[in-house]
Chains A and B, each alone.
Chain A
Amino acid sequence: MSTLLNTGFSPKYNGAAISLVTKPPLIDHLFHTAVQNTELLPTDTREQYRQKLARITLDSMVQFVGLLDARGTVLEINQFALDSCGLQLSDVEGKPFRRSFWWQVSEEINRELRESILRAAQGEFVRWDSEVYTRTGSKETMIIDASLTPVRDQQGNVVFIAAEWRDVSARRRAEQNANLLASIVESSEDAIVSKRLDGVITSWNKGAERLFGYTADEVIGQSIAILIPPDRAEEEPQIIERLKRGERVDHFDTFRLRKDQTLVNVSLTISPVKNADGRIVGASKVARDITERARQEAALRELNTALRLANIDLQHFAFAAAHDLQEPLRMVTTYTQLLSRVLADSLNDDSSEYIRQVIGGSKRMSALLHDLLAYTEVSRDQDKGRVAVNLNLTLQAALANLDEAIRESGAIVQSDSLPTVSGNEIPLLQLFQNLISNAIKYRSEAAPRVQISVVQAGAEWTFRFRDNGIGIAPEYHERVFGVFKRLHGKEIPGTGIGLAICQRVVERLGGRIWVESEGCGNGSAFCFTLPAAISGRSR
């Protein structure tokens, strides 16, 4: 295969003749050794021997090496080039190099190659990078660092072109990746800084310039201490200690000093940086300006506090109003009664009726205030913190309180075994009592029956108080829970606070309440949910 080298042609390289002198001693043991199709023989002349070694050198190189004539025709190519491209020498020998048998190349690469050969043929050393498709596997590309070196004869004419190229994909891609990462870091809004373990700053992105006001030139090589406010001097050693243990510091909210010595509220995330041996040699630090976030959080907290206080105020107001309004109202009632007694003899039917209206109105208002007080007290009770409430006991207490109404109406109340829930005893008692007393109060002709059932679905209990009462038309299903909302006149007494209290109790415990009824005459079912914080039914 080494036809060309056996022609005895001795090229001049860079004008200097290659001289071959004597066969070197001490390598006799290598004879009769065949290496890459080249057999070394004891009978080889010094020159033959040198030619064979050159052949072996060429074929053993891990880069592409070839020789072209000045027109770009392939004269010789090393084994590595052939193997890498899956070619035989016969595929390429004597053919123009620019033919794309090495790689699948684009038009542009072809043109580039043609031009490079022309330039080399005119005596120019040409070197360039090209991204080409490997012949095997058309999707995969390879980046080659190619060069063409003109070889001249003694008259200075270019007679050969030495071609070399090396696959530099891995290195170039690593570089590209590094450049990409660097540009990401550079364009980040956050300040990204790296430092050595001794605190010396080693990199500084645009975000850091914006956040801290120093340019990269001003701070690289300086200590990170220039960013740390004097009263936080102890933070840095603590951070370094954690980094040395290989720990990451996440979302550490603190303050740092800008170039103009103003403070900036930042959230720091600091990670250890390891060298190739896995030793921690420094840290990368991402600092985010959280001034705005901190301000918003503070504003939100303030607003929340204000809202909570306003709510407490409102509760106090409602309580005080309901409480203090009772007093003058009592005066109206009792003095009107006193007046009617003193004037008893001089009153006629009309004036008696007027007085009855005054007393009736003020008593009704007194009842409303009383219930309004009860409504606000639900919140006061529920603010006290929750306990485990066995609802079976709650039901018993409610039935005991309603004993008279139950006996008078002949009501029958039946219930499933009820669970224990997290809540407040008195409000839950009010809930049960109001629902049962409503079922009795709004009864139909038949004796009232109340069936209480409960099912658990996921994380909540659903309770149903089903009655055989007068029912509620669907259009009123929402309205019945409103404060002082009533569907009935004086024929059924009440202030319209009962269901509002029920709704408040349930909602403050994280549940929902609603009514199911197909309308008048069909009874209704008041349903509510409570979180199943304490699982399992009571025995």
Chain B
Amino acid sequence: MTSYTHSAGRAYRILIVDDNDGDILLLREALGSAGLLYKAITFTDGEKALRYVRDDIDPERPIDLVLLDMHLTRMEGTAILAAIRGNTTLKDTPVIVLSSAISKQDRERMGTYNVARHLVKPPELDEFLALGNTVREVLAEYSDEKG
């Protein structure tokens, strides 16, 4: 199986924020099954994720992609999204927003944050695993833009 790495030859650094660790596990399965070589930084707690984005991003070791659950416990994903866009290192980082259902209102709010994809978490295993391919596509799109 082909494995995909960053153009610098290193593993992709992917930030995953989701209060459901079942979904984090599934996302890792998906990333793995897409052949991505990656290092995941995961948060199930929105507050901690927010602090990490605000204070602990190392410009030397940037984040390549964010997988963000829209509806976190005690917090909306948009708060984290706003923090990401407000961080100089992360301001252009691709973000894939996931939610269990997307309302019209959600979609309108996403528009202002330059979100790479806004997807519903699929109820079928195969479809869920296919999210890994979507991540690969997005990574490719963004490296093309940079290159």
Task: Give A residues with C-beta under 8 Å from B.
Answer: 323, 326-327, 330-331, 333-335, 337-338, 341, 363, 366
Contacts and interface: CB of A to CB of B under 8 A. Distances in A.
Contacts of B123: 326, 330, 333-334, 363, 366
B100 A327 contact: yes
Contacts of B26: 334-335, 338
Contacts of A330: 100, 121, 123
A335 B101 contact: no
B124 interface: yes
A337 B100 contact: no
Interface string B47-59: 0000000000000
Q: Which 6 A-B pairs have the closest CB atoms?
A: A337-B125, A331-B22, A334-B125, A330-B123, A327-B100, A334-B128
Given A326-B100, A338-B125, A341-B125, 7 more contacts: A323-B100, A326-B101, A333-B124, A333-B125, A334-B26, A334-B125, A335-B22
Interface in B12-55: 20, 22-23, 26, 29
What is the predominant secondary structure among interface residues of chain A facing chain B? helix
Nearest to A373: B101
Contacts of A335: 22, 26
Nearest to A341: B125
B62 to A, nearest CB: 31
Given A334-B26, A338-B29, A327 B125 contact: no
Interface of B: 20, 22-23, 26, 29, 100-101, 121, 123-125, 128
Contacts of B124: 333-334, 337
Contacts of B29: 338
Most chain B Cβ neighbours within 10 Å, of A323, A327, A330, A331 = A330
A363 B123 CA distance: 9
Nearest to B128: A334
A338 B29 CA distance: 10
Contacts of A326: 100-101, 123
A331 B26 CA distance: 9
A358 to B, nearest CB: 13
Contacts of A366: 123
Contacts of A333: 123-125
A334 B122 CA distance: 9
A332 to B, nearest CB: 10
A378 to B, nearest CB: 16
Nearest to B26: A334
A189 B46 CA distance: 68
Contacts of B128: 334
A341 B100 CA distance: 24
Contacts of A341: 125
A331 B100 contact: no
Contacts of A337: 124-125
A19 to B, nearest CB: 119
B91 to A, nearest CB: 31
A361 to B, nearest CB: 14
A223 B29 CA distance: 91
A73 B26 CA distance: 131
7 contacts: A326-B100, A326-B123, A330-B123, A331-B22, A331-B23, A338-B29, A363-B123
Nearest to B123: A330
Contacts of A363: 123
A366 B20 CA distance: 18
Contacts of B23: 331
A341 B129 CA distance: 13
A208 B35 CA distance: 93
A209 B121 CA distance: 76
Contacts of A327: 20, 100
A333 B125 CA distance: 8
Contacts of A331: 20, 22-23
Contacts of A323: 100-101
A99 B124 CA distance: 117
Contacts of B22: 331, 335
Contacts of B101: 323, 326
B22 to A, nearest CB: 5
Nearest to B29: A338
A326 B121 CA distance: 11
B122 to A, nearest CB: 8
A363 B128 CA distance: 15
Contacts of B121: 330
